[in-house]
Chain A
Amino acid sequence: MKFLNNPDFNFVRWRWHAIVLSLVVILAGFGVIMTRGLQKGVDFEGGTIVILKFDQQPDLAKIRNALAASTVGGDAVVQRYGPAENRDVLIRVRRTGQESGGELSREVDAIVGALRAGSAGSFKMPPEGTEIVGPVVGEQLRRQGLLATVLALSGILLYIAFRFQLSFAVGAIAATLHDLLVCLAFLAFFRYDLTLNVIAGLLTITGYSVNDTIVIFDRVRENLRSQRRDPLSTIVNTAVNQTLSRTIITAGTTLLSVVALYFFGGEVLEGFAFTMLVGIISGTYSTVFIAAAIAIMLQGRKPVKGQMVTAAAPEATRKPGRRRAS
């Protein structure tokens, strides 16, 4: 069985259209983030989450009214948690009790008290779950998340620069950044909270996207020997076509697993699965259209001597094929 028989699409020709399309999506994402802001979860902003199991099917409007009438206030987020038959409700406020003294969990008591006072339905005590993150830890998690992303990206950049060429490394990182930005844009469009799990998803996408790009670059490196006389754009286009069925199948099977995760993985992993879903689609797209296009543009400025483009790059001085014994 084969999806594609010797595909020969001219992907490189579409690179400008692709770059414009990506810029539109990313800028739209920026626009939404600028105007509405990226919703940060309690992990990064600090705040209190209470998950309560109600004895009857909960009435969210009543719960909101009860909270609005109390000191908790009307800005609390109230939403269902998990499948309806669990009768779980998640309530989130952006505040915590004071960090000094033992009062951090005071907001939980305030929420429980408000629901009792407003007779918003009876629920099980203690709560099914609580999450209280004070501002100090929130700030710390934010810093660490950013640090992990930046370091991971630089590590990958160095590795690719070492294994391939700098222009390819830049292409791969551009494609990866593209995927991260597209993911952030979609997270903003669909109003997902930025949580630790979403950060894990973003970092996984980093790995996945680079992965995808490397497979093509690897093929380019291999083709550089057999297609000596062709211009770089042709070599790249051939490589993209040669690996196309692999790219599609891998994206497809990974998507299958991630879709399963999205639908069956439960509430906690939904944000993670959504990030992965967007990231895999974006990653496949950027692999085919963005990564190679940028590598070609960067190389293109250097004197072109047939395929001898590489003569200007470190690759040639390292005698191509040295690492490819076969």
Chain B
Amino acid sequence: MKNIRWKVFTIVGVFAVFFALGVYPILATRYGLPAPAWLKARQLDLGLDLQGGVHLVLRVHTDEALKTSTTTTAEQLREAARVAGITVSALSVPSPTTFRIEGVPQDRQAEFERLADDNASASYNRTSGPGGSYDFAMRPNIAVQMKQQALTQARETIDRRVNELGVSEPNISEYGDTGDQLMVELPGVSEVARAKEIIRSTAQLQLKIVESGPMSSQEALLQPHNGKLPDDMEVLQGSGQEPGFYLLRRTAGITGQDLRTAQATLDENGRPAVGFSLTRDGSAKFGKLTGDNIGRSLAIVLDNRVQSAPRIDGRINDNGRIYGSFTQEQVRDLVLVLNSGALPASMSYLEERVIGPTLGADSIKSGVLASLAGLALVVVFMLVYYKLSGINAIVAMVANLVILIGLMAYFGFIMTLPGIAGFILTMGMGVDSNVLIFERIKEELAAGSGARAAVAKSFERVFLTLLDTHVTSLIAAAFLFMFGTGPIRGFATTLFIGLLTNLFTSIFVSRTIFEAVLLRQPTAKASLSI
């Protein structure tokens, strides 16, 4: 007697807790009932397919990050050699992880090698060839590390940008099996094209001294240099309304990393422009750069396009302005991406799914309708076929769903449309467990057992069967979870948790009800409506 009371108490307690965690917040939001804020914050999250939103998969071109690093190291080594008075005849970067320096004079090779040790040996293996040529190759473990670093940096940058966009609960994570993919999920975003552009924009800001230009063609620009591009120069094109070609110094005086903040402002003519201020280091560099080059032009390069090239009228220290032919909207987005930092490499989209809010709402409607219809059909059947014992199964099934919703809300799992299918399937498994038990009880009763003995025996026998059936389904659900994506994961999660809760409800809850009913009857005459 005491035992049963304790069991009933446990069941009611568990039911109440999970009802409060899972079902009540949904009802409270829907019908405006009072609920504490922390409870509402824990509400069951809906997946993109139900609330609408954007699902993107991007590839980060991590090779670019390697190439940047290799080029920088190569340039640094040449510069160090130049300072030491060693001139080399050629420098090339044939692949993202290798560079080659040629023509180190015979008598200076030992000194050059020492410089190479200081500047490059930490990350590059060195081999020397004939005629003072040296090949440098990035160590494989360093390459792996740098790729991962680029991926992480890209993820963090996108995260900041998405937050600036004001998207609530975005999900940005590494994806796929190639080690260079990111998945971005933005619930409830409507300006898809803009979001995509902001996420992908590399936003590499560089300020470079202009040698000559703008000119209408590359040839005209290179004519004074006998048509050959000097080693330390590069040619870039202007953007928008000023499409001329510029000859620029290859090394950037200032980059996006020197930036402290950017904000929207206006130029002298009252057109939209981006104002920026620099960090302390950046200011020092900027002051020297502008002070040394008064009278020349300074190109403001964004993603390898010259936005504008104003003349330097005097020494500028800590702030400046980027102007060009920007619209207000472009300025707003530019400020956003500059403030969130540059991406280490460019990216491209591999997958895009956009679910409009109406499609999501339709799916919720049909999912709920299907669940309720399925539930109603099963309830009717159980009551007709198992009479009063059918109530047992129904109580167990409802308890199962309530605990399932509560657990999912509590642990922050996401409900998707396939997740609703998982719900319906869990209902099916729950009914199956009860049918197994009830059929066994019927069999035991037919074989002449008393009601109490029949219940006890049946639950003991069926327990092993239920264990086996549930474990096999759990194995399938686990693999689905591991290899599934987005919606499928929702299905696997629901199924997995549903299977666990079902073991509890169909064995513990259902048995307790049977025992409680039998307890009220005298042992000898106890009977069941089954």
**CB–CB B356/A261 < 8 A:** no
**CB–CB A129/B464 < 8 A:** no
Distance A210 CA – B365 CA, assembled complex (angstroms) = 32
Decide if the interface of chain B is mainly helix, strand, loop or mixed: helix
Interface bits A194-212 vs B (CB < 8 Å: 1, else 0): 0011011001101110110
Q: Quick one: which of A163, A207, A256, A269 contacts B476, CB cutoff 8 A?
A: A207
**CB–CB A156/B476 < 8 A:** yes
**CB–CB B464/A323 < 8 A:** yes
Q: Quick one: which of A82, A104, A253 contacts B381, CB cutoff 8 A?
A: A253
**CB–CB A136/B428 < 8 A:** no
Distance A230 CA – B442 CA, assembled complex (angstroms) = 25
Which of A9-17, A26-34, A63-71, A143-151 interfaces with chain B? A143-151
* B487 interfacial by beta-carbon distance below 8 Å: yes
Determine how close the nearest CB of chain A comes to the CB of B66; give it in whole angstroms. Answer: 18
Chain A residues, CB < 8 A from B59: 99, 136
Which chain B residues numbered 433 to 463 have a C-beta less than 8 Å away from chain A? Answer: 435-436, 439, 442-443, 457, 460-461
Which of A242-250, A288-296, A299-307 interfaces with chain B? A242-250
Which of B108-116, B151-159, B478-486 interfaces with chain A? B478-486
Interface bits A14-27 vs B (CB < 8 Å: 1, else 0): 00000000000000
**CB–CB A129/B479 < 8 A:** no
Known A128-B359, A136-B59, A140-B176: A265·B469 in contact at CB below 8 Å: no
* B348 interfacial by beta-carbon distance below 8 Å: yes
Known A145-B483, A222-B461: A265·B366 in contact at CB below 8 Å: yes
Distance A42 CA – B368 CA, assembled complex (angstroms) = 27
* A278 interfacial by beta-carbon distance below 8 Å: no
**CB–CB A152/B373 < 8 A:** no
Size bracket, chain B contacts = 35 or more
Chain A residues, CB < 8 A from B264: none
Chain B residues, CB < 8 A from A122: none
Distance A82 CA – B429 CA, assembled complex (angstroms) = 29
**CB–CB B387/A134 < 8 A:** no
* A2 interfacial by beta-carbon distance below 8 Å: yes
* B145 interfacial by beta-carbon distance below 8 Å: no
Chain B residues, CB < 8 A from A242: 443
Chain B residues, CB < 8 A from A132: 349, 351-353
* A320 interfacial by beta-carbon distance below 8 Å: no
Interface bits B361-381 vs A (CB < 8 Å: 1, else 0): 011011101110111011001
Chain B residues, CB < 8 A from A206: 476
**CB–CB B432/A254 < 8 A:** yes
Determine how close the nearest CB of chain B comes to the CB of A152; give it in whole angstroms. Answer: 4
Q: Quick one: which of B417, B465, B471 contacts A215, CB cutoff 8 A?
A: B465
Which A-chain residue is minimally distant from B473 (CB atoms)?
A207
Chain B residues, CB < 8 A from A222: 461
**CB–CB B485/A141 < 8 A:** yes
Size bracket, chain A contacts = 35 or more
* B301 interfacial by beta-carbon distance below 8 Å: no
Distance A268 CA – B355 CA, assembled complex (angstroms) = 12
Which chain B residues numbered 163 to 215 have a C-beta less than 8 Å away from chain A? Answer: 176-178, 190, 192, 196-197, 200
Distance A85 CA – B351 CA, assembled complex (angstroms) = 30
* B491 interfacial by beta-carbon distance below 8 Å: yes
Q: Quick one: which of A2, A82, A196, A325 contacts B485, CB cutoff 8 A?
A: A196
Q: Quick one: which of A218, A268, A324 contacts B417, CB cutoff 8 A?
A: A268
Determine how close the nearest CB of chain B comes to the CB of A97; give it in whole angstroms. Answer: 9
Known A86-B362, A207-B472, A269-B418: A105·B480 in contact at CB below 8 Å: no
Determine how close the nearest CB of chain A comes to the CB of B200; give it in whole angstroms. Answer: 6
**CB–CB B417/A207 < 8 A:** no
* A314 interfacial by beta-carbon distance below 8 Å: no
Interface bits A117-145 vs B (CB < 8 Å: 1, else 0): 00000000011111111101100110111
Chain A residues, CB < 8 A from B374: 256-258, 260-261
Determine how close the nearest CB of chain B comes to the CB of A145; give it in whole angstroms. Answer: 7
Distance A53 CA – B356 CA, assembled complex (angstroms) = 11
* B495 interfacial by beta-carbon distance below 8 Å: yes
* A189 interfacial by beta-carbon distance below 8 Å: no
Which A-chain residue is minimally distant from B443 (CB atoms)?
A242
Distance A159 CA – B176 CA, assembled complex (angstroms) = 29
Chain B residues, CB < 8 A from A147: 483
Chain A residues, CB < 8 A from B491: 200
**CB–CB B418/A197 < 8 A:** yes
Determine how close the nearest CB of chain B comes to the CB of A276; give it in whole angstroms. Answer: 8
Chain B residues, CB < 8 A from A261: 370, 374, 421, 424
Determine how close the nearest CB of chain A comes to the CB of B214; give it in whole angstroms. Answer: 26
**CB–CB A137/B176 < 8 A:** yes
Chain A residues, CB < 8 A from B373: 260, 263-264
* B517 interfacial by beta-carbon distance below 8 Å: no
Chain B residues, CB < 8 A from A245: 439
* B336 interfacial by beta-carbon distance below 8 Å: no
Which B-chain residue is minimally distant from A262 (CB atoms)?
B370
Distance A136 CA – B177 CA, assembled complex (angstroms) = 11
Determine how close the nearest CB of chain A comes to the CB of B39; give it in whole angstroms. Answer: 30
Distance A250 CA – B196 CA, assembled complex (angstroms) = 48
* A37 interfacial by beta-carbon distance below 8 Å: no
* B88 interfacial by beta-carbon distance below 8 Å: no
Q: Quick one: which of A131, A144, A207 contacts B483, CB cutoff 8 A?
A: A144
**CB–CB A203/B479 < 8 A:** yes
Distance A266 CA – B427 CA, assembled complex (angstroms) = 19
* A1 interfacial by beta-carbon distance below 8 Å: yes
Determine how close the nearest CB of chain B comes to the CB of A177; give it in whole angstroms. Answer: 14
**CB–CB A104/B348 < 8 A:** yes
**CB–CB A155/B351 < 8 A:** no
* A35 interfacial by beta-carbon distance below 8 Å: no
Q: Quick one: which of A102, A199, A265 contacts B349, CB cutoff 8 A?
A: A102
**CB–CB A268/B473 < 8 A:** no
Chain B residues, CB < 8 A from A51: 356, 359
Residues on B lying within 8 angstroms of A by beta carbon are 49, 57, 59, 176-178, 190, 192, 196-197, 200, 348-356, 358-359, 362-363, 365-367, 369-371, 373-375, 377-378, 381-382, 384-387, 417-418, 420-421, 424-425, 427-429, 431-432, 435-436, 439, 442-443, 457, 460-461, 464-465, 468-469, 471-473, 475-480, 482-485, 487-488, 491-492, 495
Residues on A lying within 8 angstroms of B by beta carbon are 1-2, 51, 53, 82, 86, 99-102, 104-105, 126-134, 136-137, 140-141, 143-145, 147-148, 151-152, 155-156, 159-160, 163, 196-197, 199-200, 203-204, 206-208, 210-211, 214-215, 218, 222, 242-243, 245-246, 249-250, 252-254, 256-258, 260-261, 263-266, 268-269, 272-273, 323-326
Besides A254-B431, A260-B374, A268-B417, 15 other A-B contacts (C-beta < 8 A): A99-B59, A99-B349, A128-B359, A136-B178, A148-B484, A159-B475, A196-B488, A197-B488, A200-B418, A207-B477, A250-B428, A253-B435, A263-B370, A266-B362, A269-B367
28 contacts between A and B (CB under 8 A): A104-B351, A105-B352, A130-B354, A136-B59, A144-B483, A144-B484, A148-B482, A148-B483, A152-B475, A152-B476, A156-B472, A159-B468, A159-B475, A196-B487, A200-B421, A214-B468, A218-B465, A249-B385, A249-B435, A252-B381, A257-B425, A257-B428, A258-B428, A261-B421, A266-B370, A269-B366, A269-B421, A325-B460
Q: Which 3 A-B pairs have the closest CB atoms?
A: A266-B366, A257-B374, A148-B483
